[in-house]
Amino acid sequence: MGKLAPYFRFLVILWVVVTVVFVSLRLTPGDPALLLLGPTAGRQDTSERLADIRERYGLDRPIIIQYGIYLSDIVTADLGKSNRSERPVSELVKTAAPVTISLICLSMLLAIPISIYLGLTAAQKRERPYDRSVRTLATLAMATPSFWVGLLLVNFFSIRLGLLPPSGYIKLFVDPIGYFSHMMLPVVTLALYLIGTLTRFVYTETADTLEQDYIRVSRAMGISSKRILFQFVARNSLTPMIIIVGVEVGTLIGGAVIVEEVFGLPGLGRLLLNAVLGRDYPVVQGTVLSITVVVILLNILAEFVYKLLNPRSKL
């Protein structure tokens, strides 16, 4: 299999994930057709719609066939139609995706530089008050429920100070200022956990690297501390960060679900939540699938980039 072998693994993972989604939505006892119909099950045309659903998803046929239909649907990117609005799920996903993507990207843009700076400088000034406070704050940032902080921020900035809007979303190209003022609090909220985690990570990696012998030798040779830090240390400590970020994207998406709910952002998270609460299964299934597939693809990318920068690693 050669060089492609590690990527085959990802195919299997994708397949397992897709199957898990299939299985979990059929865990509910009862008639799946009724479930797929959702709460609109009382209407006049119910029996026709039930029949439609049964045919569409093959619910009368053996589970293997259902699975086959499911897989072929996915491959053709047909995610079905929403129960409530009759709009195709893929359309809903496409509309909501940019919001979530921009939320996550902005959060990463905010969190990564801050974490790198804090982590590196704290490791440099080991055991001094600066270091301890950075580490404590990072741990707290990681430990705090982000939505709680978010609400506190809303409370403070929006309601008390009236500086920023408490919720809602404006498209970037419609009104850039409005866009940023609406995104600011959500982005900070989401970034908080990431800042905490990444700062701790950069700190430990850098502290470890700084203790290595080759650094001591460099110092002895007279190379300035700053140069050591940025040339040798940063490179070594930050490359693994790519992997961590890849992993944390998943966590971020989870956080995004909550943040979107709190701040009323019409992203994938909100779409998903409303679908769950409204028992709109096709949307739930479609959204979860889309998100997970993207996360996996991002992880593949992260691993690829990491291997590029560090060809000798045994990933």
Considering the complex, what minimum distance in angstroms separates the CB of residue 219 from other proteins?
A: 20
Q: How far apart are CA 141 and CA 57, in angstroms?
A: 45
In the list 34, 222, 253, 263, the residue contacting other proteins (rule: CB under 8 A) is 253
Question: How far apart, in whole angstroms, are the C-alpha atoms of residue 41 and residue 88?
Answer: 19
Query: Which residue number, 102 or 299, has a Cβ lying nearer to other proteins?
Result: 299
Residue 37 engages other proteins in binding (rule: CB under 8 A): no
33 interacts with other proteins by CB under 8 A? no
Tell which one of 139, 167, 181, 236 touches other proteins (CB under 8 A): 139
Rounded to an integer, what distance in angstroms lies between the CA atom of residue 203 and that of residue 126?
10
C-beta of residue 237 within 8 angstroms of C-beta of residue 209: yes
Closest CA to 110 of 37, 179, 196: 196
Binder to other proteins among 72, 85, 133, 155 (CB under 8 A)? 155
Cβ–Cβ < 8 Å for 138, 196: yes
Where helices occur in the chain by DSSP H, the ranges are 5-25, 32-37, 46-57, 63-75, 89-124, 129-143, 146-153, 176-211, 213-221, 225-227, 234-263, 268-277, 281-309
- 212 touches other proteins by CB under 8 A: no
| Closer by beta carbon to other proteins, 172 or else 308 | 308
Gap between the Cα atoms of 125 and 129, Å rounded: 9
Smallest separation, CB 269 to other proteins (Å):
9
Site residue total, other proteins (CB under 8 A): 54
By CB under 8 A, the residues from 275 to 304 that bind other proteins are: 275-277, 279, 281, 284, 288, 291-292, 295-296, 299
Residue keyed to tokens 């956990």: 193
Question: For binding to other proteins (CB under 8 A), which residues are involved?
Answer: 1-3, 5, 9, 12-13, 16-17, 20-21, 24-28, 139-140, 142-149, 151-152, 154-155, 159, 247, 250-251, 253-255, 257-258, 261, 272-273, 275-277, 279, 281, 284, 288, 291-292, 295-296, 299
